[in-house]
Amino acid sequence: MAPRARGRRPPPPPLLLLLLWVTGQAAPVAGLGLDAELQVERRSVPDECPRTVRSGDFVRYHYVGTFPDGQKFDSSYDRDSTFNVFVGKGQLIAGMDQALVGMCVNERRFVKIPPKLAYGSEGVSGVIPPDSVLHFDVLLMDIWNSDDQVQVHTYFKPPSCPRTIQVSDFVRYHYNGTFLDGTLFDSSYSRNRTFDTYIGQGYVIAGMDEGLLGVCIGEKRRIVVPPHLGYGEEGRGNIPGSAVLVFDIHVIDFHNPSDSISITSHYKPPDCSVLSKKGDYLKYHYNASLLDGTLLDSTWNLGKTYNIVLGSGQVVLGMDMGLREMCVGEKRTVIIPPHLGYGEAGVDGEVPGSAVLVFDIELLELVAGLPEGYMFIWNGEVSPNLFEEIDKDGNGEVLLEEFSEYIHAQVASGKGKLAPGFDAEMIVKNMFTNQDRNGDGKVTAEEFKLKDQEAKHDEL
């Protein structure tokens, strides 16, 4: 074959089709019984080769096509795009259809194809001379079959797995996304935040919706997604069309929006008869962590308890629920889904968005609250001359100073009781304001009423 001087740029894609795709009339060059003349040299074979090309597979590969004298006539690298094609279906010249069979991803083959398995005695006008032997340096990037399903391989499963992901659960996971040749195309780790999504409802590609089913919290698995369950022939962003995607995922947590909290009591003292209820003032210690064990916060480390009035909105709803009907000395673990915790937003720098939280709690002290709706109660009988007693200077008007002094004296002597856990001055001021109907800063005898004398409860 005569050397050809070729100074022009590689052919554009339409010509590529002429070169590598065989139309119906060109196909008969196969089947001449001269397959032995096809020479295949395996130049580089990867250590790991879980799968090899079979007839009928779809492959993506790079190649450089040269004539025997080394002159390049075509290269996929020049187009910065792999060549994508079904193998063994007559879409390629016969020699290439045969040469690709048995290849591993990342394998490199050097192939010499005789003209009878390429473009024969006719060649391709202006590109391939008649009777040309063609050389191809081939690197296989990708392989799948239209019969492929999602493949799942678990390589770490936590010892305890009380529940696995089901359809409609909401999951947070980390992942590295690579192509079959190992090239990384995306990673949640690089963004330093989990990927969060509902499962089985089409929010993610079909292959991930399927591949995440049945996974445990803390599990690590590889999910291999063929393109028909991924981004298809079109691809998306930096994912080329017809690419197999490999996701190495680590599930951080999941929950279902219908989940409530879960309470596990680890220890109860012998006398566990006084149980916490709404309005009680509680002092407790806690460790807060994520389901994967990451510690977020600990009052034990701070050396002082956390103190709240139960049912007063001082903690997230899940925590309020988790502290109910608990006795002093009891230890329990409360698991709180995000909709009863810190929600989708989380707490900046402290709690990730949509995180399930684990609280290990010990109740140290309980001060019984007042009946619901009361901020102050009398322990015994109420004096019949209450207004006169409060109006110390006897001028018929009670000022805040008189009122405050009187209430505190009642509490100090054990005759009255303020709701525990709140700012006493604030309670007293609210009580006074409630009695001062016309808001002039003084309470008159007419304004003054006992709480129980009214349908609408006030404070005294």
Residues in contact with Ca ion by CB under 5 A are 391, 393, 395, 397, 436, 438, 440, 442
Q: How far is CA 23 from CA 18, 27, 98, 173, in A?
A: 8, 7, 17, 47
Nearer to Ca ion, 109 or 442 (CB): 442
Q: Residue 212 in contact with residue 145, Cβ under 8 Å?
A: no
User: What minimum distance in Å lies between the beta carbon of 306 and Ca ion?
Assistant: 40
Residue 405: CB minimum distance to Ca ion, A: 11
| Phi-psi category of residue 329: left, alpha or beta, with phi > 0 → left and psi -120 to 50 → alpha | left
CA–CA separation, 244 and 144 (whole Å): 7
Indicate the residue among 91 and 433 with the shorter CB distance to Ca ion. 433
CB of 404 to Ca ion, least distance (A): 12
Rounded Cα–Cα distance for residues 345 and 308 (Å): 23
CA distance linking residue 375 with residue 312, whole number of Å: 12
Beta carbon of residue 396, minimum distance to Ca ion (angstroms, whole number): 7
Shortest spacing between CB 382 and Ca ion, in angstroms: 19
Considering the complex, what minimum distance in angstroms separates the CB of residue 414 from Ca ion?
25
Residue of 215, 291, 208 whose CA lies nearest to 252: 291
DSSP state for residue 419 in the 8-state scheme = P
C-beta closer to Ca ion: residue 325 or 440:
440
DSSP β-bridge partners for residue 363: 284
Cβ at position 451, least distance to Ca ion in Å: 17
List CB contacts of 399: < 8 A, sequence separation 6 or more.
Answer: 441, 442
Residues forming beta bridges with residue 429, ordered by sequence position: none
Backbone angles phi, psi at 86, to 5 degrees: -80, 145
Please, which contacts does 320-324 make with residues 24 or more away whose CB atoms are closer than 8 Å?
321/260, 321/261, 322/261, 322/263, 322/359, 322/361, 323/276, 323/282, 323/284, 323/361, 323/363, 324/275, 324/276, 324/277, 324/278
Element (H, E) at 390: helix 386-390
**Cβ-based nearer residue to Ca ion, 379 or 438:** 438
**C-beta of 48 vs 393, nearer to Ca ion:** 393
Amino acid (one-letter) located at 173: Y
C-alpha 361/C-alpha 364 separation (Å) is 10
Shortest Cβ 441–Ca ion spacing (Å)? 7
Pick 35 or 397: Cβ nearer Ca ion: 397
**CA proximity to 170, closest of 17, 355, 327, 20:** 355
Can you say how many angstroms the Cα of residue 48 is from the centroid of all Cα atoms in its chain?
A: 30
- The residue (of 348 and 393) whose beta carbon lies closer to Ca ion is 393
3-state secondary structure of 162: coil
Q: Look at the block and give the residue holding tokens 């391989």.
A: 153
Least distance between Ca ion and beta carbon 394 (Å) = 7
Q: Which is nearer to Ca ion, 423 or 440 (CB)?
A: 440
Nearer to Ca ion, 137 or 402 (CB): 402
To the nearest whole angstrom, how small is the minimum distance from the Cβ of residue 438 to Ca ion? 5
Nearer to Ca ion by Cβ, of 365 and 440: the residue is: 440
